[in-house]
Structure 1
């Protein structure tokens, strides 16, 4: 019978420079000699003490790694803590990741609110009015990169909630109040409104008029607003559940969502597509298409209207759909579907060409209620998404030369940037942003950095965004990024040379407890 042994000598025998029998759980040499066996686990190492028998290594401090570079904007040191859980391949819950990502946002912060809204038609108390005013003047404007007449968070969702007293409108109104309360730091009040929103939404499904499209649209908007609440509150892991509710409404009354009878429908469709795409990024199991194949992945047509940057997306509709194509490609590869190498590579090359050649256009439609609009910020954010999409494609399926057994796929007249080049492009764009408002591209770029100085910069960007925007999702994603970095550093024989394979982050999260949202 083969007796299992350790893969290396125990630390006691290594230090004594003697042979080791590698017995488990303790070395028998140490046991016979009644010495403490220090085992075989991972051990941190510091420079050796000089013993006079060998040439001493010289260690020289790098000025760029000064301790001051590891201090955050909030006066704390940045550390990447690697523990037993990382060594043992532990999976983490979303709440674990939030705790690793950063300090809990202070709930005592108060913010100024605008005096009021002109279109209130409900009998609201003073507190509800203040919360709606905060949503209108702050929250609804920060959820889009273009705060003009297309900002449906203010100009379409608010009237849906305020111009009716039925239970679907009540649910949407309570979800808005919950979001505003949470952003103002009133957590208990936010939870009260969230519970009321869910209760009203549940009641609405029992009394929904079968042909009332407005009623169904308001239900749909309430589900999506509860998704947004889950993004803001790091302790709320029900984002996917609320999105599934929106999907059920779409499948039950697609005509209501797709019709043009109501002016808010295009906004709702884009809002839904945004959440759905990044749900695909994190939930590969949601693809239920019978016998999916690579030929089912449809690349968008590339019409001009889809290249217009949409404020709530942060990028163009075409780019969002290309990201969805990469999601589907990754899922098929993970499922081991039998596509030929040439077909797979051909699809990857087509997506690559579209990403390289995509030119996203900034179009603004200001009105008297528009906020500050920066064309530069809009463009940089959209480009940041494009850079991240190219990194995502490389992580999913690096386009390399085909093997001799396959026919050559379409070639690109433009060279595809390398990962380090794309990371540098991402940092160049981040340097021109006051605050990063888009967690998904920041996450993709962060997973591809290897140098300490870049990691420290990423941590500072996440910390600043979390404090300024007060969205708990940043802490969850930062915790996940730290876990990815720890696993990269633990990869043997690869080191930190920029060539270590990035682990699939989905394997690091306990899916049963909820998956992170990247919206």
Structure 2
């Protein structure tokens, strides 16, 4: 039996390997230590700027080996675009303020290639899995993926309770996705324990980075519950994240990492309101929409622009007012005015990618991102029609549905469950429903996230109800969005 590829020692020597198992004969004959045939992580040989996106992990047994003798130790001074901007703008001159500039720099966690906390063995593999598999799954854009650039930076920037909690929550998600339940449970338990200790000792973790790490950990625990459909603590972690955010000062919220975390929290909060409208009635902590200078820019985490996502939140609020038995009787004219305003906003919404995204993406990637954003816009219009129905909706609904299926056809793998669910609820023919089931199968196969399986079960129930009502001669359409509020605590649409 031969190995599929040569051993690492022969690769390093750049010679042919006979691929004998467990050790190659070349190494045995020359009395060299055979490097084996296993998978290896990427360790940079030099601290070059080209390698800045890689996470360096220490390997047990090799961490103490010095690459260079002490007298010949190499040092590297890496320049970034910020350095050149600093020189061009002459910020070193006395009449220009240094304090705001240095404050912006110090607010960002270190991107050093040598993390403060060594990550070894199985944990190193899981961390790399998070970086290469989990992080890209969570965003439709690539230019600045906060799950990779921001979250990893925080987790590896310091060694304290808050960052340890964040790191272990990331490892828990990676382990669960790799179908390693024991490791996932151990890391999740460790993350919750470290987060509790961090929150109980604010004097130790009371800095900006500490608060960001605590908020990021709470959001990661929310994500874990989305990945694992058996978990039922999503709202507990979401409310914890809201409490942490409420204690952050306005200045802290201005930091780039905090801005990303607020986007993430907003995404979960809005779609959680969709899944559980009765919870939103009792919820006193609301996540505010932040002012975006370019509201039509597609946000990778959301899958669409802030403008479109804000419309989804507005429709949720209209539905909440209709459902709330304790609310004052809503005026129909006012409700239709609200619908008209949201509908007009969505009809003229034009979503675009950032210049950085255009520069770093292929045509196929840009097409998929734009199609996903358009799918969110069309799904929002379909959702609005069901919440506040009006005369003439049937004709417009048919047009929206045709466009939505065309957008789905331009997406290799659907990333957002919410628009797929909205479109699926409008599917009437067998052909449309089979196509939706194929999309869900592809999502489950490629993404392997538990909320898709829960969503499929709900969809099948809704389709059955629709067919039974149709066969019984009932022409009035049942409000399918009421079915989303069930006893299952997982918000299936994030």
TM-score above 0.5 = yes
Specify the alignment match of 1:192 in structure 2.
Answer: 186
Report the alpha carbon displacement of residue 290 of structure 1 after superposing the two structures with TM.
Answer: 11
Name the CA distance, whole Å, in 1 between partners of 2:362 and 2:132.
9
Residues 366, 303 of structure 1: alpha-carbon distance in 2 compared, 3 angstrom cutoff = closer
5 Å matches for 1:75-474? 115=42, 117-118=55-56, 119=113, 120-148=115-143, 150-209=144-203, 211-255=206-250, 258=253, 260=254, 262-288=255-281, 305-335=294-324, 337-365=328-356, 374-400=365-391, 418-474=396-452
Report the alpha carbon displacement of residue 478 of structure 1 after superposing the two structures with TM.
Answer: 0.7
Give yes or no for contact 1:509–1:515 (8 Å, CA) kept in 2: no
Residue deviations 1:188-245, cap 9 Å, x none? 2111111111111111111122852221111001011111111111212222211111
Give yes or no for contact 2:141–2:357 (8 Å, CA) kept in 1: no
Name the CA distance, whole Å, in 2 between partners of 1:280 and 1:191.
28
Gaps of 5+ in 1: 1-110, 402-414
Name the CA distance, whole Å, in 1 between partners of 2:249 and 2:365.
36
Name the CA distance, whole Å, in 2 between partners of 1:515 and 1:152.
24
If asked which structure has higher relative contact order (CA below 8 Å, sep 6+), I would say 1
Give yes or no for contact 2:229–2:490 (8 Å, CA) kept in 1: no
Report the alpha carbon displacement of residue 126 of structure 1 after superposing the two structures with TM.
Answer: 1.8
Name the CA distance, whole Å, in 2 between partners of 1:113 and 1:471.
27
SS of the residue aligned with 1:338?
coil
Residues 257, 243 of structure 1: alpha-carbon distance in 2 compared, 3 angstrom cutoff = farther
Residues 274, 422 of structure 1: alpha-carbon distance in 2 compared, 3 angstrom cutoff = same
- TM-score (structure 1 length as normaliser): 0.68
Residues 256, 517 of structure 1: alpha-carbon distance in 2 compared, 3 angstrom cutoff = farther
The answer as to 2:464 corresponding to 1:482 is: no
Give yes or no for contact 1:352–1:416 (8 Å, CA) kept in 2: no
The answer as to 2:469 corresponding to 1:491 is: yes
Report the alpha carbon displacement of residue 509 of structure 1 after superposing the two structures with TM.
Answer: 5.3
Residues 302, 140 of structure 1: alpha-carbon distance in 2 compared, 3 angstrom cutoff = closer
Residues 157, 433 of structure 1: alpha-carbon distance in 2 compared, 3 angstrom cutoff = same
Residue deviations 1:339-381, cap 9 Å, x none? 3221111110010000000001111426999899711111000
Residues 208, 312 of structure 1: alpha-carbon distance in 2 compared, 3 angstrom cutoff = same
Report the alpha carbon displacement of residue 441 of structure 1 after superposing the two structures with TM.
Answer: 0.2
Report the alpha carbon displacement of residue 502 of structure 1 after superposing the two structures with TM.
Answer: 3.2
Name the CA distance, whole Å, in 2 between partners of 1:123 and 1:229.
24
Structure 1 stretch displaced more, 368-377 or 180-189: 368-377
Report the alpha carbon displacement of residue 254 of structure 1 after superposing the two structures with TM.
Answer: 4.6
> Which has a greater percent of helix?
2
Residues 354, 508 of structure 1: alpha-carbon distance in 2 compared, 3 angstrom cutoff = closer
Name the CA distance, whole Å, in 1 between partners of 2:119 and 2:482.
44
- TM-score (structure 2 length as normaliser): 0.72
Structure 1 stretch displaced more, 189-198 or 483-492: 483-492
Specify the alignment match of 1:501 in structure 2.
Answer: 477
The CA RMSD over aligned residues, in Å, is: 3.0
Residue deviations 1:125-147, cap 9 Å, x none? 12111111111112111210111
Report the alpha carbon displacement of residue 301 of structure 1 after superposing the two structures with TM.
Answer: 11
Name the CA distance, whole Å, in 2 between partners of 1:135 and 1:191.
16
Give yes or no for contact 1:147–1:372 (8 Å, CA) kept in 2: no
Specify the alignment match of 1:7 in structure 2.
Answer: none
